[in-house]
């Protein structure tokens, strides 16, 4: 026992490690090499405990039986990152939150040809791919339906949003603001069909571009048909 404040217990030939209490705080210091904390008991955990204002709780648990996983064992405990705690990750007992309070929130994959994969419940107790950022092919892949659930929200294409489509709660709009609007079907002998209500509760084809009836003899003479 060192009965007085600011007394120091030194360990090592050069007093490299020490313990002290300054009357307010306890300090464990190391001056040389790596500071290692070890538990040699097989599958035994390590706990860092605190007093949260009246009760004793385990704030951090290192789970030896789960490959040394670090656990915040209580709901609403937050992992805070940054000088002003700008990024916070926590679970409130029902939902998990990743909250950013300063700057942009950036997800970046540095592995060459690596992907960013978003999985979620598949409706039958498993998980399925919903969306993949495919780094190898430089493309975004959607594996489930895409929905804009609010009216008048646009899907826009082009540097100046030159082509866009939306539904205004009454009508659907497909709008091009720059250059030609071209519909192309490259499937051999396939058609482009225009369908609408048939007056009896279903739809019918009003006209179509008949690709299977088109002919070309290698010259400027080409037969094309709109039916």
Model pTM score: 0.80
User: Does residue 220 carry a pLDDT above 80?
Assistant: no
> What is the pLDDT, as a whole number, of residue 19?
96
> What is the pLDDT, as a whole number, of residue 177?
97
C-alpha dihedral sign at 97, 102, 105, 106: negative
Please give the radius of gyration of the chain, using alpha carbons only, rounded to the nearest integer: 33
- Percent of the chain exceeding pLDDT 70 equals 100
157-166 contacts, C-beta under 8 A, 24 or more apart: none
Angle in degrees, CA 92, 95, 99, rounded to 5 = 80
What is the band of 23 on the pLDDT scale with cuts at 50, 70, 90? very high
What is the band of 218 on the pLDDT scale with cuts at 50, 70, 90? confident
> What is the pLDDT, as a whole number, of residue 216?
80
What is the band of 215 on the pLDDT scale with cuts at 50, 70, 90? confident
- 31-67 pLDDT tens trace: 999 999 999 999 999 999 999 888 888 999 999 999 9
3-class DSSP state for residue 216?
Answer: strand
Query: What are the distances in angstroms from CA 138 to CA 115, 118, 119?
Result: 9, 16, 19
- 156-198 pLDDT tens trace: 999 999 999 999 999 999 999 999 999 999 999 999 999 999 9
- 112-149 pLDDT tens trace: 999 999 999 999 999 999 999 999 999 999 999 999 99
């Amino acid at each position: 026992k060192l009965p007085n404040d600011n007394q120091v217990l030194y360990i090592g030939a050069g007093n490299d490690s020490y313990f002290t209490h300054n009357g307010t705080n306890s300090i464990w210091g190391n001056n040389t090499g790596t500071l290692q904390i070890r538990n040699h008991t097989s599958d035994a955990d390590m706990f860092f405990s605190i007093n949260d204002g009246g009760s004793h709780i385990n704030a951090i648990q290192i789970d030896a039986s789960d490959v040394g996983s670090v656990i915040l064992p209580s709901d609403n405990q937050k992992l805070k990152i940054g000088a002003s705690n700008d990024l916070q990750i926590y679970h409130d007992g029902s939902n998990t939150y990743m909250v950013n309070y300063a700057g942009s929130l950036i997800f970046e994959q540095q592995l060459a040809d690596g992907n960013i994969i978003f999985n979620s419940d598949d409706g039958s107790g498993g998980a399925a791919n919903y969306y993949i950022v495919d780094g190898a092919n430089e493309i975004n892949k959607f594996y489930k339906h895409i929905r804009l659930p609010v009216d008048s929200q646009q899907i826009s294409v082009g540097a100046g949003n030159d082509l866009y489509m939306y539904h205004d709660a009454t009508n659907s709009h497909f709008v091009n603001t720059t250059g030609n609007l071209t519909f192309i079907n490259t499937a051999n002998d396939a058609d482009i069909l225009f369908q609408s209500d048939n007056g009896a509760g279903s739809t019918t084809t009003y006209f179509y571009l008949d690709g299977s009836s088109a002919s070309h003899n290698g010259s400027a003479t080409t037969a094309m048909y709109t039916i």
